[in-house]
Chain A
Amino acid sequence: MIANEDVDLTLHEGEVLCLLGENGAGKSTLMNTVFGLYQPDAGELRLRGEPVHFESSADAIAHGIGMVHQHFQLIPVFSVAENVVLGNELHKGPFLDLDTARTRIRELGTRYGVEIDPDAIVGDLSVGEQQRVELVKALFREADLLILDEPTAVLTPGEVDDFFAVVRSLVDQGKSIIFITHKLREVLAVADRIVVLRGGRVVGDVDPTGATQQSLATLMVGRDVSFTIDKAPSQPGEPMLRVTDLSVDDDRGVTTVEGLELEVRAGEVFGIAGVEGNGQRELVEALMGMRAKRAGHVEIAGQDVTHASPRQVIELGVGHVPEDRNKHGLVGPFSIADNLVLNRYQRRPFSRRGLRNEATIAARATELVHQFDVRTPGPQVPVATLSGGNQQKVIIARELTGEVRLLVVAQPTRGLDVGSIEFIHHRIIEMRDQGAAVLLVSAELDEILNLSDRIGVLYRGALVGVFDRADATRAELGLLMASGREPETAEATG
């Protein structure tokens, strides 16, 4: 499969170049090639006018190129210093010299505004701090060219601003930066130049001063894209989900959900905004009966499910689209058909007295594949062979059909192309209009603002603000997500 084709790209010294494209456009592949992790099939790479060829990332690093990956390449059990020196260790005799490293890390920290404690254990750091470690890693190796792959995906709106300040500082001191992203807002905020990739090819080399989010989106997707979804006002009915005073612990025994109160009514979409790591995962697992609750009550359709098993919750008419689709939502080697009955294989008509009814399973699969437009040669094909968007469609097909009274969706469009995103958003609204209660958990603020009728912000395990959609503003939400406090109170405390 060709990921990049005929790409011509030039980066000037001291410039911030944004590489823009939707998921699957080939941005990461291109940069991984520059960094030496992939080998190009054709074409050449030139650094400062000289042709270069990188056999491995060690070569790229030696030539002054550093890369901060979208998924951090860190070793959680090692300290910051150990992570930074790995591969470029300093020695004192036969032994590892971490002292010199520590000094250098502190130096780099103050110089570029990326302070970090060299002895901290990386696994204990926040996501923003971990990103600093990645930057220090690159700077430690005297990188002049920094490639940043989707760096703001995991940051709060406030942390994003801090991050841009660091980027400015780096550029001021002579570094050149390639910034990969699919977020239009940020591109316009920080880029000196924008290159748009679509389907592996370059479709635009744009000056940010003349561009708008709309024009960029059109270039990215190849057609006009609407950002908002047309929807009728919601007609909320009975409360379908009621959560009172819920407290849940994570795997390490730390209480990540504390005293949470939530109510979702039939016929409305309740969006929970918040940066990942504020208890979303534990909340969803607790609601679905997969995680024991330390305290509190959960009621679905009027029934107390605080101590119910996952199966009991599902049988009440709850659909669940998990945030990690491959790990939790699908069984890769199984066929699409088997995946489609994962949540109700034990019920009629799919089985009777413990024996599977293959005919009904297959028939159902054909029907759903057609209805949800899953691109596949056939329903018996292993689901692992499908693209990300189609895989998510399989999960959606499974969870959004049948008698669904409550739908719990977590990060439903992460990593998907625009077409799939639109499809899924429409389906969610459809469910709402059919009377289901929808709980939407997402770190993408735009998605929340687009789909929700009411919005709550999850911060440190509690809902710190609940708004009707009409009353919510981006700024307010952003501040709540970052600090848990409303703008007025924040101002008052300075």
Chain B
Amino acid sequence: MKVPDPKRVGRAASASWRSQPALVPVAAIVLALAVGAVVILLVGDNPLEAYAALLRGMFGSPDRIAASLARSTPFIGTALAVAFAFRAGLFNIGAEGQILVGATLAAWVGTFSYLHDVPGILLIPIVMLAGAVGGGLWGAIPGVLKATSGAHEVIVTIMLNSIAVLYVRWLVSSNDPVVLQDTTASVPHTVPISNNARLPELFDSQPPLHTGFLVMLALCVVVWFILKRTTFGFEVKTVGANAHAARYAGMGVNRTIIAVMALSGAFAGLAGAGEVSGTVGFLSPGVFVGIGFDAIAIALLARANPFGIILTSFLWGSMLSGAGLMQQETGLSIDAVRIIQALVLLFVAADVIVRTIFRLRVDTTGGAMDTTQITSGWGST
């Protein structure tokens, strides 16, 4: 059995013209769409029709664009959470649990009777802070465990996701005792938060585009600033690049790991609070299912760059938003879009495939996520 040899694959991609970094994701998308088209054909549908409907669903009208932006809002926060952890060499797969816990805490704090009439200018930050605290605590758990016992954060965060989903489901749906449930509602969800705690709406789309989107954009700037200009950011990057050298240089590696995981969780929690406050004012269980893996994919595609994350989240979210229209018009399952998304991630991760096919030069210089090598197995630093 002749297996593909890495030596030969690397040499095959010769340069015919200079490649810009942006070309690879674009080429990956093209390739993914092509493979997706094959899959669609296999089930007997017309890919061109499907893609056209998808595009219309994504950008077809101002309403659609706003809906796409709204859909991508929580992705920005969670992808930032993942990306920030990446920079410290940590794999935060727990964004789903963190956004959920943050959303729950925010949804709860927003119903406090003594806060009910506090003006929005104070109450909104309080609720958002609650979200950040909730997510931050849920993110700190794997951080602390990793720092003290070396437990690998991949397993711990995955487990915490499931635990969060289960506990929040109980908190929201429990009838005996009633904890957070709004007993007047027909479908289980939490008691709506005070109107003063609601983020103002920017555009009345379905789902509504709200100020939370701006908060997420601001968060991106904050993360960029931390990483580029602060000493804390320098410590984060050093721990991610070479934790041993960080220790030898006197940096508190454990402290940094815990701080990074807590902040990472806080970013996700903030996104959760934003969604509760901005869209419907309450939390339904199951509304964030699967967002964790989406966040990882976006963070990877954007090469952990905060501004790349904005663009990538928009593309990702708008694809999922537009898929609804595609299903309506052509009957094709939404999962077709999910397959294409997974393929895009595949082609970007194994960019050598794309470069070989499109004859772009193989990139050998360093970069934040280059050769996308982050793991060094289960043994910790």
Name A's B-contacting residues (CB within 8 A): 288, 290, 309-311, 313-314, 320, 322, 327-334, 338, 342-343, 345-346, 351, 354-356, 382, 384
Which residues of chain B from 228 to 276 have a CB within 8 Å of any chain A CB? 229-232, 234, 237-238, 241-242, 244-252
Nearest Cβ on chain A to B251's Cβ, whole angstroms: 8
What residues of A have a CB within 8 angstroms of the CB of B238 in the complex? 331, 334, 342
User: Which residue of chain A has the shortest Cβ distance to B239 in the bound complex?
Assistant: A331
User: Which residue of chain A has the shortest Cβ distance to B230 in the bound complex?
Assistant: A354
Evaluate whether A322 and B242 lie within 8 angstroms (CB atoms) in the complex, with A345-B231, A354-B231 already known: no
A322:B248 contact, CB within 8 angstroms:
yes
Evaluate whether A320 and B242 lie within 8 angstroms (CB atoms) in the complex, with A355-B231, A356-B230 already known: no
B245:A330 contact, CB within 8 angstroms:
yes
B242:A327 contact, CB within 8 angstroms:
yes
Name B's A-contacting residues (CB within 8 A): 229-232, 234, 237-238, 241-242, 244-252, 366
What residues of B have a CB within 8 angstroms of the CB of A333 in the complex? 241, 366
Nearest Cβ on chain A to B137's Cβ, whole angstroms: 24
Interface SS of chain B: helix, strand, loop or mixed? helix
What residues of B have a CB within 8 angstroms of the CB of A330 in the complex? 242, 245
B241:A331 contact, CB within 8 angstroms:
yes
B250:A332 contact, CB within 8 angstroms:
no
B247:A310 contact, CB within 8 angstroms:
yes
User: Which residue of chain A has the shortest Cβ distance to B246 in the bound complex?
Assistant: A331
What residues of B have a CB within 8 angstroms of the CB of A351 in the complex? 231
B231:A356 contact, CB within 8 angstroms:
yes
Nearest Cβ on chain A to B234's Cβ, whole angstroms: 6
Evaluate whether A314 and B250 lie within 8 angstroms (CB atoms) in the complex, with A345-B234, A354-B230, A355-B230 already known: yes
What residues of A have a CB within 8 angstroms of the CB of B244 in the complex? 327-328
A346:B248 contact, CB within 8 angstroms:
no
Nearest Cβ on chain B to A339's Cβ, whole angstroms: 9
Distance of A310 Cα from B232 Cα, bound (Å): 17
Distance of A150 Cα from B199 Cα, bound (Å): 70
A342:B366 contact, CB within 8 angstroms:
no
Distance of A85 Cα from B239 Cα, bound (Å): 40
A329:B245 contact, CB within 8 angstroms:
yes
Nearest Cβ on chain A to B283's Cβ, whole angstroms: 35
What residues of B have a CB within 8 angstroms of the CB of A345 in the complex? 231, 234
User: Which residue of chain A has the shortest Cβ distance to B233 in the bound complex?
Assistant: A356
Chain B CB within 10 Å, residue with most, of A288, A320, A342? A342
B252:A309 contact, CB within 8 angstroms:
yes
A-B contact pairs, 30 of them (CB 8 A): A288-B248, A290-B247, A309-B250, A310-B247, A311-B250, A311-B251, A313-B250, A314-B250, A320-B248, A322-B248, A328-B247, A330-B242, A331-B238, A331-B241, A331-B242, A331-B245, A332-B242, A334-B241, A338-B234, A342-B238, A343-B249, A343-B250, A345-B231, A345-B234, A354-B231, A355-B230, A355-B231, A356-B229, A356-B231, A382-B366
| Contact pick for B232, options A313, A322, A354, CB 8 Å | A354
Distance of A331 Cα from B252 Cα, bound (Å): 16
B250:A328 contact, CB within 8 angstroms:
no
Distance of A313 Cα from B250 Cα, bound (Å): 8
Nearest Cβ on chain A to B263's Cβ, whole angstroms: 14
Distance of A314 Cα from B238 Cα, bound (Å): 18
Distance of A320 Cα from B245 Cα, bound (Å): 12
What residues of A have a CB within 8 angstroms of the CB of B248 in the complex? 288, 290, 310, 320, 322, 328-329
Distance of A309 Cα from B251 Cα, bound (Å): 9
Distance of A290 Cα from B246 Cα, bound (Å): 11
What residues of B have a CB within 8 angstroms of the CB of A311 in the complex? 250-252
What residues of B have a CB within 8 angstroms of the CB of A288 in the complex? 248
Evaluate whether A356 and B234 lie within 8 angstroms (CB atoms) in the complex, with A310-B247, A343-B249, A382-B366 already known: yes
Distance of A382 Cα from B364 Cα, bound (Å): 13
Distance of A309 Cα from B234 Cα, bound (Å): 19
B245:A328 contact, CB within 8 angstroms:
yes
User: Which residue of chain A has the shortest Cβ distance to B249 in the bound complex?
Assistant: A342
Nearest Cβ on chain B to A380's Cβ, whole angstroms: 12
B250:A355 contact, CB within 8 angstroms:
no
What residues of B have a CB within 8 angstroms of the CB of A309 in the complex? 250, 252
Distance of A322 Cα from B232 Cα, bound (Å): 24
What residues of A have a CB within 8 angstroms of the CB of B230 in the complex? 354-356
Distance of A202 Cα from B251 Cα, bound (Å): 47
User: Which residue of chain B has the shortest Cβ distance to A328 in the bound complex?
Assistant: B248
What residues of B have a CB within 8 angstroms of the CB of A356 in the complex? 229-231, 234
Distance of A351 Cα from B233 Cα, bound (Å): 12
User: Which residue of chain B has the shortest Cβ distance to A384 in the bound complex?
Assistant: B366
What residues of A have a CB within 8 angstroms of the CB of B366 in the complex? 333, 382, 384
What residues of B have a CB within 8 angstroms of the CB of A322 in the complex? 248
Given contacts A345-B231, A354-B230, A355-B231, 11 further A-B contacts (CB under 8 A): A311-B250, A311-B252, A327-B245, A331-B241, A332-B242, A334-B238, A342-B238, A342-B249, A343-B250, A346-B231, A384-B366
